[in-house]
A and B are shown apart, each in its own frame.
Chain A
């Protein structure tokens, strides 16, 4: 664990000293601030929809941070040849992947804390309410979903040659899951064989990131919190995917020459 934490710490220092992260963060805050504060025609319902859009913006920004951070970890180490002195130490490749994952995941967690705190403050300034349990559930499952995205991007960075192609593919996969994931089973029913089976296999095999994504509506419109058992089961479900993608990444990396 010592080695994993050491690598995660370096990932955190890198994020802290890079400018891209702050640019995206400030941009999201400015957009949310503008969208969250305007009230066209002084209609209360419109504020709700604008809040939902702010939450969507937070999701998009956090996905960009998760994918871009994770996708360039290993390629940058290879390109800058920092991988050689690192792997010449008593460090296994599994520990390296785990450390990179942990670092990126913590970065995502810290980002979400900032985003959700800002969103909460913004919402409270308009509605004078703090639905803390809703925020906690939404942020926690959002973080778990980003764990899946980080693990998937790390795996992609070992499979695809260019970090840009990996980022694009990961972003397209995530966007497809978030937008179409919940309709895929209905689409499958309307199809003929063998396409129906193919779509059903995809539906059951893919990580349903849209489940935590749906919580943004619940948060926006202050619906009652989700039962805790559902939150725990969803977290376990997402953790299983994190484990699967990380194991695959370790297996791929173990066979890869590093020079």
Chain B
């Protein structure tokens, strides 16, 4: 298995806007590796640096130090994002477009030929169960449907790597189950999924490996069973690793 996502000594500092304040270190020397075909869970408490890591991987935030690459290409190059799909935590899409128009727009950005774009639009809308609502404006969709449109846009280019930022956040149990099923199906298709989540039960079910970060530091990384060790659940192991005392 080849490594398709790598960070080496990744460091991100934010300058504080308040006078006299030091810079805030969001990530301090993060080393991560994700290989092809893995479902990788990226865990940590709020403010640990999960979203910052994803923002660096997607080129939204430049790293202060270290390197980050996707498929061996520096993340600052737009071409590094040619084979990835991304679902942000809060999904909002152009409300004045229909799901079909939105997917066609993104397919065009990926440079898919017309026939292939049509095929991918049909496939992804079928996968996220939005075929019947494809001609409706997105502003008329429920939250769960909007989340599924988000998943569809992340899959439009048939990506080799999916980056999902808390994909089940704010969804009802049925919506969560559907997203989990989709991740499972992608795993069966051999896709690599890198996702952050606070739903540790879900992570335990679908992930091959996990990494736990806290205060910008990598605390643990490895196969789920190894991280759990003697703890009965991943949640107990997680709380122990981040140093939470009951």
Q: Which residues of A contact B (CB under 8 A)?
A: 2-3, 6, 9-10, 13-14, 17-18, 80-82, 84-92, 257-259
Contact = CB atoms under 8 A, between A and B. Distances in A.
Interface in B47-84: 51, 55, 58-61, 78-82, 84
B209 to A, nearest CB: 23
Contacts of A87: 58-60
Contacts of A10: 94, 97, 105
Contacts, number: 75
A18 B96 CA distance: 8
A257 B60 contact: yes
A73 B98 CA distance: 19
Contact of B97 (A13, A84, A90): A13
B92 A82 contact: yes
B78 A91 contact: yes
Given A90-B78, A259-B55, A85 B97 contact: no
Contact of A82 (B94, B109, B163): B94
Given A81-B88, A88-B84, A2 B94 contact: no
Contacts of B79: 90
B225 interface: no
Contacts of A18: 96
Nearest to B62: A257
Contact of B60 (A13, A80, A90, A259): A259
30 contacts: A2-B108, A2-B109, A2-B111, A6-B105, A6-B108, A13-B97, A13-B101, A17-B96, A80-B92, A81-B88, A81-B90, A81-B92, A82-B92, A84-B60, A84-B86, A85-B86, A85-B87, A85-B106, A86-B109, A88-B59, A88-B60, A88-B86, A89-B106, A89-B110, A90-B82, A92-B78, A257-B61, A259-B51, A259-B55, A259-B60
Nearest to A77: B94
Contacts of A81: 88, 90-92
Interface size class of B (residues with CB under 8 A): 20 to 34
Interface string B10-26: 00000000000000000
B192 interface: no
A86 B60 CA distance: 11
B90 A90 contact: no
A85 B81 contact: no
A96 to B, nearest CB: 10
B94 A259 contact: no
Interface in B158-191: 163
B150 interface: yes
B92 A89 contact: no
Given A17-B96, A259-B51, 6 more contacts: A2-B109, A10-B105, A82-B93, A84-B60, A85-B154, A89-B109
Nearest to A258: B60
Contacts of B84: 88
Given A10-B105, A259-B51, A90 B96 contact: no
Contacts of B59: 87-88
Contacts of B88: 81, 84-85, 88
Contact of B109 (A14, A84, A90, A257): A90
A148 B78 CA distance: 28
B110 to A, nearest CB: 6
B153 interface: yes
Interface string B191-224: 0000000000000000000000000000000000
A10 B138 CA distance: 14
B90 to A, nearest CB: 6
Contacts of B93: 82, 85
Nearest to B137: A17
A14 B60 CA distance: 25
Contacts of B78: 90-92
A86 to B, nearest CB: 8
In order of increasing CB-CB distance, the 8 nearest A-B pairs are: A88-B86, A6-B108, A84-B88, A90-B82, A89-B109, A80-B92, A17-B96, A88-B58
Contacts of A92: 78
Nearest to B111: A2
Contacts of A257: 60-61
Contacts of A86: 109
A115 B55 CA distance: 45
A13 B105 CA distance: 11
Interface string B135-165: 0000000000000001001100000000100
B153 A85 contact: yes
